[in-house]
Amino acid sequence: YYRRSWSSESSDSVISSESGNTYYRVVMIGEHGVGKSTLANIFAGVHDSLDSDCDVLGEDQSSTEQPQDEGECEEDTYERTLMVDGESATIMLLDMWENKSEEEWIQDHCMQVGDAYLIVYSITDRASFEKASELRIQLRRARQTEDIPIILVGNKSDLVRCREVSVSEGRACAVVFDCKFIETSAAVQHNVKELFEGIVRQVRLRRDSKEK
């Protein structure tokens, strides 16, 4: 009889096996001011937007993490577990592209460590769009032999009157980049959840095609 309390509580609440979970390091790169940190904060749950969709399993677990080696800044990394297409995935999001010290090694490091990349520009800033092309080239150079999942992100889509880069230009650029494209608004939280689900799907597509 002593087992009764044990069996009634635990088993149903456990979500599948932990081995089914996958872990991706996603790096955000892009010009200053395009909205990387705002997107990262939404991801981290600061605005609690993703929670309302009941798709998010865990809370931000970065506080319980082991300290990173090589001086990675803890406040620039965010970890969350999402349920995407019935399978959980843990994303560690790195928002350390811009750093106060302007140390070059951090950007080199960013180019090396990502399993996937979000190249962010602002639709209100053509220079940031041109910078995105430069970054794509830089990334290709840094990871020549790899087929890295990338999403080109046109942020600030809420600022319709200030638009300098059209949707079709963004889309065409992504074709040249050989990557996915999405327009987001961190301000009104449009397509942000879709962005992070999208990057998980992109990594999985490549993983699945490798297994065949």
**Interacting residue ranges for ligand GDP, rule: CB under 6 A:** 30, 32-38, 98, 155-156, 158-159, 185-187
Q: Where are the beta strands (DSSP E) in the chain?
A: 22-30, 77-84, 87-94, 116-122, 150-155, 180-183
The binder of 202, among ligand GDP, Mg ion, none, by C-beta within 5 to 8 A per type, is none
Q: Is 37 in the site for Mg ion (CB under 5 A)?
A: yes
Nearer to Mg ion, 102 or 211 (CB): 102
Q: Is 21 in the site for Mg ion (CB under 5 A)?
A: no
Give the H/E segment covering residue 43: helix 36-44
Q: Which of 111, 178, 126, 127 is nearest to 149 (CA)?
A: 178
Task: Confirm if 128 and 31 have CB atoms less than 8 A apart.
Answer: yes
The binder of 186, among ligand GDP, Mg ion, none, by C-beta within 5 to 8 A per type, is ligand GDP
Nearer to ligand GDP, 32 or 207 (CB): 32
The SS3 call for residue 157 is: coil
Nearer to ligand GDP, 81 or 181 (CB): 181
Least distance between Mg ion and beta carbon 40 (Å): 8
Alpha helices of 76-162 — where are they, by DSSP H? 104-113, 126-142
By the criterion CB under 5 A, which residues form the site for Mg ion? 36-37
